[in-house]
Amino acid sequence: MSELFRIENGALVRAARSRLANEAMIQDWVRDNLGLVGIHGVVIGREVMIANRGRIDLLAMDKDGSLIIIELKRDRTPREIVAQVLDYASWVVSLSTRDVHALCLEKTGRTLDEVYRERFSVPPPDTLNASHQMMIVAGSMDETTTRIIEYLSEVHGVGINVAFFNVFEDQGVQWLSTDTLLEQEEVAERATRSTRAPWSGYWYLTAGAESDVPWEDLRRHGYVVASGGKWYSDGLARLKVGDRVFFYQKNTGYLGHGVVRSEMQPADDFLIADGRPLVEAVPRGYFTEFGDDPEKRAYVIGIDWKKTVDRSNAKTYSGIFANQNIACKIYDEKTVEFLVREFGLDREGEN
């Protein structure tokens, strides 16, 4: 159970637990900032009515097009709220891509394309609701219900989690702390396993348009760059040294295979092979434009390219896997088999 302390004269003074005058504020806060419950997404509906079942407090979508039910516990028992969100999920799973577009327009008065682009700066995925998740917002959960949720998520891959909102009061000021029962990224990952093939072991990487991020720069100096906001740079942050990647350029195709040699760092800190700063070797304005803003500044990862091709020899075919994310895991086996063959790789030895 969360506690909050004030430090006074070198001693800890525990803040008393408190209650909000109006718990409906929590729904407003979560709607305006899904990060409070560990979700990177956008709200597409509030108070979504379901015939003979009730209404979903908030319905959100993550960047992969998965729907997320967010439900406040209020005065329901832990078991009641778990049963409720599972019932809601049995309805959500039936929504088609067309249904999701229509629901967003009905509940927000805006098209899904507008809502999604405002958050992610790219169009939404072509296929929506391939998987779904559930997030319960509560002050606490009893041990039995906690075990049930952990069992559903960790053993059976059900995308269910709990976000804890705890209110404290000290010297007339209220404070709010938030936490989740399980790591939300892991919950989302488990929830999608049953809807797609196992991970291939390869990562997909992309960058800006050729006019902004020339392939020859990336190829010659061994890096991939992301700038313009955390949604872009957070993708690069997922990659670790030794990860195997394929690089894709929009409207061109796959241009290279390599291995991550250095993890994400600010562009103006990155040194190329001859020891020079990248910003001197490749004088691009966006490398330093937001140098004082940790969210908007440009970040790079170092890549040891194993096999590359010119843009005129890009590897592609109709329907090959591509994604709006800067970095993501490749699950499409047809794409992987094609790239392994075209780049002359041995999936075991990576020749």
- What was the pLDDT predicted at 124? 87
- What was the pLDDT predicted at 350? 58
Q: What is the identity of the amino acid at 53?
A: R
CB 200 within 8 A of CB 330: yes
pLDDT average, residue stretch 66-93: 93
Determine the distance from the C-alpha atom of residue 81 to the mean position of all C-alpha atoms in its chain, rounded to a whole number. 25
DSSP helix/strand/coil, 127: coil
For residue 304, the cross-strand partners are 259
- For residue 337, what is the DSSP state? H
pLDDT band at 139; cut points 50, 70, 90: confident
Q: How many CA atoms lie within 13 A of 220 on its CB side?
A: 9
CB 286 within 8 A of CB 227: yes
- For residue 301, what is the DSSP state? E
How far is 35 from 37, CA to CA, in rounded Å? 5
How far is 171 from 160, CA to CA, in rounded Å? 37
- What was the pLDDT predicted at 68? 98
Asked if residue 347 has pLDDT above 80, the reply is: no
Which residues, in sequence order, are CB contacts of 178 under 8 Å at separation 6+? 36, 37, 163, 164, 165, 166
Query: Pairing state of beta strands 54-62 and 41-50?
Result: antiparallel
Q: DSSP states of 96-121 as a string?
A: -HHHHHHHHHHHHSS-HHHHHHHHHS
How far is 230 from 116, CA to CA, in rounded Å? 16
How far is 258 from 205, CA to CA, in rounded Å? 10
pLDDT average, residue stretch 232-246: 92
Q: How many CA atoms lie within 13 A of 181 on its CB side?
A: 26
- What was the pLDDT predicted at 133? 97
Query: Given the structure tokens 């908030």, which residue do they identify?
Result: 58
Domains defined for the chain, CATH in brackets: 12-193 (3.40.1350.10), 202-342 (3.10.590)
How far is 268 from 290, CA to CA, in rounded Å? 11
175-188: pLDDT as tens digits: 999 999 999 989 99
- What was the pLDDT predicted at 195? 75
CB 167 within 8 A of CB 176: yes
266-309: pLDDT as tens digits: 999 999 999 999 999 998 888 988 888 888 899 999 999 999 99
pLDDT average, residue stretch 240-269: 96
pLDDT average, residue stretch 226-255: 91
pTM of this structure? 0.68
pLDDT band at 72; cut points 50, 70, 90: very high
CB 184 within 8 A of CB 190: no
- What was the pLDDT predicted at 120? 85
pLDDT average, residue stretch 241-263: 97
CB 224 within 8 A of CB 207: yes
- What was the pLDDT predicted at 317? 95
3-47: pLDDT as tens digits: 889 999 999 999 998 888 777 789 999 999 999 999 999 999 999
Query: Pairing state of beta strands 299-308 and 132-138?
Result: unpaired
For residue 168, the cross-strand partners are 17, 175
197-224: pLDDT as tens digits: 788 999 999 998 899 999 999 999 999 9
- Sign of the Cα pseudo-torsion (290, 292, 297, 300, in order): positive
Residue 201 gets the label, from left (phi > 0), alpha (psi -120 to 50) or beta, of left
153-165: pLDDT as tens digits: 999 999 999 999 9
